[in-house]
Amino acid sequence: MTPPGPASGHETGPGTGPATRVLQWAQEHGEVGGVHASHRQLTAALRAEGCDVRYVDTGDPGRAVRAAPALWRRRTLHLFHITRLWRAMLLAPVFALVPGRTVLVLHSGSTAGQVRRMGGPAAGALRLALHAYDEVWAVNDEIRSVLPAGLRGRVRVVTPYVPVPRTAPAPARAPHALSVATNAGLAHYHADLAVDAVRLLRAGAWPDATLRVLAYGHDGAELAALRSSVAGEEWVDVTFDASPQEVRDVLASSAVFLRPTAWDGDSVIVREALAEGARVVAGDTSPRPLGVELSALSAADLAAAVSEGGRRSDGSGLAERSMLDAARAALDAVVARA
């Protein structure tokens, strides 16, 4: 398979010089979710500026190998998107060898915990591996703080959300519609708390409240259990792998987006919900963007925050600089080095 070319067909972009290329090392055809949305948003924005953006599909070994001829151009920015640190360690020898500028993008809020759980040998291997990358982009300050001190000069904190212009009018907002997202129904997303919170709202302040559950990832036992728990509840709608446009329309039509997660990096869907004008009520367990209303992880506290308003986040621990701005700066470095 020939590596996919840029949608624009352009080989140049503002400030990038001739024949500068961006290679997105990511699951191009992988499951939907925050990481997928983030790199696709960045790709769309860079292509709109005239950049040649292509993929090394890390979710398919065959596709990744067939992309190998594209790796050896000097005027290339390599962006490696991961949630699991072992992948950065595994591919460090490759990124140490490829020409151009290499960037490791750490998306997951679990990154800090992954580092803290590493023993001495693993921590040493991670420190060595990270030297293979010219830059490391972390999505919050906590991730930056747990990375080896000697590498701090390479670390940039960025927000992974890149706005994409609307191509269709936004739907009308329903005053008591709520939504929540869950990856495969996994426990740390606490979709069950969202269901219980809306049940409390329906019994009290918002008797007409509805809940849309946006599920993605693996459609397995956890999601089956979630569906079973709301079977017969006409006010809950569980959908799986909604398209980006459908997700956007759900957020635009929601009065409140719930994010009762046990941990997060800098959630793309939270940023998307805010951009669509929805209130966001989220667990006070992770850094949250400015204006997000915070709640303890209980159904009663979530319901109270929705109906009465929650304490607002001041945005501490997250970046204002976007991944697009960081990519532009890295592209300038590619040109300067060439």
The rounded distance, in Å, linking the Cα atoms of 335 and 10 is 17
The rounded distance, in Å, linking the Cα atoms of 128 and 280 is 40
The DSSP output letter for 234 is: T
Give residue 69's pLDDT.
Answer: 81
CA distances from 14 to 21, 135, 176, 196 (A): 12, 21, 44, 50
Q: Are the C-beta atoms of 324 and 310 separated by less than 8 Å?
A: no
The CA-based angle 225-259-31, given to 5 degrees, is 60
Structure-token pair, residue 180: 């929540």
- Give me the average pLDDT of each 10-residue run along the chain (338 residues): 36 52 90 90 96 92 81 94 95 95 96 91 93 97 93 94 91 97 96 98 98 96 97 96 94 98 96 98 97 98 98 96 97 90
User: Three-state SS for 322?
Assistant: strand
In the numeric block, the tokens 């352009």 are attached to: 10
Q: Tell me the CA end-to-end span of the chain in Å, nearest whole number.
A: 29
State pTM to two decimals.
Answer: 0.90
The number of beta carbons lying within 10 Å of the beta carbon of residue 124 is 12
Structure-token pair, residue 79: 């962006």
Q: Are the C-beta atoms of 322 and 162 separated by less than 8 Å?
A: yes
Give residue 11's pLDDT.
Answer: 40
